[in-house]
Structure 1
Amino acid sequence: MQAPCFPLQYLRLLTFLAKSRNMTKAPEILCVGSVLWDIIGRSASHMRAGSDVPGRIIRLPGGVAMNIAMALSRFGLKPALLSAIGQDPEGNELVAECARRGLGTDHLYRSADLPTDRYMAIEGANGLIAAIADAHSLEAAGDKILNVLNFGPLGRPENPFDGLIALDGNLTAGLLEQIATSPSFSKADLRVAPASPGKAERLLPFLRSGRGTLYVNLEEAGLLCQSSFETADQAASQLLERGAARVLVTNGGDGCCDATADGLIQECPPPVLVTRVTGAGDTFMAAHIAAECDGANRKDALSRALHAAAAYVSGEVAI
């Protein structure tokens, strides 16, 4: 029996439809926020303001959303990025690097008018000395980066995305407020982190709405509560009183706390020699998300996240 013969145009249509179904398949997790180039100077010396010391200067993909996505990929998940990247040479190079690392780039907002964002940091043996985040293009793009969740193909207000979303505080306060209250995000499992202490108060909408899981350090928790704390459990308890649904508070090498209405879980990270700090909090968050995706309970997920972050800051994990 002779095989049926289909017109070439029909075969092309089938190929197009197959590709379209593959492109609109929802990712395991969306990472929403800054995707940029990190320019980091590191020295083995202790530093202070005005120090001039030898060291190394590197450039690598960064930004909170990017760091979380890269870490999630290392833990076996398949994240996709929602961010703004320019169509300049730096942007093209960054998108290619994202794809090389297995990160979804189909839904990035590529602007012809905005340059690709950058972050610059100086690190010494005594930790982060100073940093400047130039995320103006992300802020200027605004809600355009969320079009795929508001107008399809990943979601709409009447049929919202119901998977995991990792958000970072480099988004504007207005956009974070929109996400905290919008029907387009009503079914999502929101995991939210400030980009820095200076942007911690942008997370206040998630306290007011009682939505999402917040990942903050002790300083950021104090800014959200307009107070100061000595321990992570004190900070976590206060954040719950202010409306947080769930919060994880880290405190460097001291105790960390995971707090919900069902109770508080505490654990200390393993002691390690710190060789880098930029991206440590993002690694902690990603490892915690990955552990819970793997079925770990709250105690085990916290422990796995702390050990992953310790391995990262010690330099055991390649980036």
Structure 2
Amino acid sequence: MTAQPDILCIGAVLWDIIGRSASHMERGSDVPGRITRLPGGVAMNIAMAAQRFGMRPALLTAVGRDPEGEELMKACARMGMDMRHAYRSEDLPTDRYMAVEGGNGLIAAIADAHSLEAAGGRILATLRDGTLGSAETPWEGRVALDGNLKTDLLREIALDPAFARADLRIAPASPGKAERLHVFLGHPSAVFYVNLEEAGLLCQTRFADSAEAARALHDRGAARAVVTDGGNAASDAGAHGLVTKRPRAVLVTRVTGAGDTFMAAHMAAEARGAAPEAAMETALTAAADYVSGDTNL
């Protein structure tokens, strides 16, 4: 693989272990279903989706040299992922994510991304040593940034001259980590992709809908805020004004990775020159196809 990437996906690449059941589930439920293990993580999910939408992603991440890590690297290679710039650790185990999904959505999930956090700035080496960029010649393409990174590293990225010309797109990874992204409020090129709950956490309030949330997050310092709300309308607020669109209704068969698919489709549409309204429509269609179980996504 020698082609120059057109987007860098920075963050978690790990094993997704997902249990899915068509049954409605509550605390203590014990139901039949399927358990799968696939390459995942926010950065990986965005990269896979970006590739499907015609982009050339490269991953900056940490993967252990343990058996699970070697297997993960081979699986990524089979999928055509550019892992040339991944930091390979001798002493950190490969990260994992575990989730349970029922017919009523996500029941619970645990993200074990401790190795990514421990690797810290070592995952950014090729953006600083001239391979992909440096302080003197910064990377000028898109960057999809995973909020699983530690707050100190996110703050470092927000101030790093190697990112000064990047089109920076940020995903919080989970509501529990959304507040880590405060360091990018006021950043001139940071685009926030958050759901309604995450927007509320960043603004320390609750919102009635995505339009209210997107406006408030933009007013609070986000250069641009793209806010989703499940099957309700999504909104995009920035210098272009406010765009709000409602996704089509679908039968939900899976949820893990839906936000990453939305984000990747939105970025790919804009890379092709789509205006904010068209990009939002494309992203909502892709996310609806994904959660409905489209086998091509």
TM-score, normalisation: structure 1 = 0.91
1:56 corresponds to which of 34, 43, 48:
34
The Cα of 1:236 is off from its aligned counterpart by 0.6
Specify the alignment match of 1:279 in structure 2: 257
| Structure 1 residues 166-199: Cα deviation after superposition (integer angstroms, max 9, x where no partner) | 0010111111111111111000000100010000
1:208 corresponds to which of 186, 197, 201:
186
1:241 corresponds to which of 207, 219, 222:
219
- Secondary structure, in 3 states, of the residue corresponding to 2:28? coil
Q: Which protein is bigger by CA-based radius of gyration?
A: 1
Consecutive aligned runs of 4 or more in structure 1 exceeding 2 Å deviation: 208-211
The Cα of 1:152 is off from its aligned counterpart by 2.1
Q: More displaced, 29-38 or 199-208?
A: 199-208
Task: Give the residue type in structure 1 aligned to 2:77.
Answer: A
The Cα of 1:241 is off from its aligned counterpart by 1.1
Q: For residues 104 and 125 of structure 1, what CA distance do their matches in structure 2 show?
A: 34
Q: For residues 51 and 187 of structure 2, what CA distance do their matches in structure 1 show?
A: 30
Pairing of 1:5-16 with structure 2 (within 5 A): none
Specify the alignment match of 1:186 in structure 2: 164
2:281 corresponds to which of 303, 313, 317:
303
Give the conservation status (yes or no) of the 8 Å contact 1:87–1:112. Answer: yes
Q: For residues 77 and 98 of structure 1, what CA distance do their matches in structure 2 show?
A: 16
Q: Structure 1: which 5+ runs fail to align?
A: 1-21
The Cα of 1:240 is off from its aligned counterpart by 1.0
The Cα of 1:69 is off from its aligned counterpart by 0.4
Specify the alignment match of 1:93 in structure 2: 71
Task: Give the residue type in structure 2 aligned to 1:274.
Answer: V
- Secondary structure, in 3 states, of the residue corresponding to 1:203? helix
Give the conservation status (yes or no) of the 8 Å contact 1:78–1:102. Answer: no
The Cα of 1:26 is off from its aligned counterpart by 3.6
Specify the alignment match of 1:102 in structure 2: 80
**1:228 and 2:206 matched:** yes
Q: For residues 64 and 240 of structure 1, what CA distance do their matches in structure 2 show?
A: 23
TM-score, normalisation: structure 2 = 0.98
Q: Structure 2: which 5+ runs fail to align?
A: none
**1:163 and 2:141 matched:** yes
Pairing of 1:15-54 with structure 2 (within 5 A): 26-54=4-32
- Secondary structure, in 3 states, of the residue corresponding to 2:254? coil
Task: Report the RMSD for the aligned CA atoms in angstroms.
Answer: 1.1
- Secondary structure, in 3 states, of the residue corresponding to 1:132? strand
Percent identity between the two aligned chains:
64
1:152 corresponds to which of 130, 133, 138:
130
- Secondary structure, in 3 states, of the residue corresponding to 1:208? coil
The Cα of 1:210 is off from its aligned counterpart by 4.0
Specify which structure has the bigger relative contact order, considering alpha-carbon pairs within 8 angstroms and separated by 6 or more residues.
2
**1:217 and 2:224 matched:** no
The Cα of 1:211 is off from its aligned counterpart by 3.3
Task: Give the residue type in structure 2 aligned to 1:85.
Answer: V
Q: For residues 189 and 203 of structure 2, what CA distance do their matches in structure 1 show?
A: 17
Q: For residues 180 and 188 of structure 2, what CA distance do their matches in structure 1 show?
A: 14
Task: Give the residue type in structure 2 aligned to 1:247.
Answer: A
- Secondary structure, in 3 states, of the residue corresponding to 1:209? coil
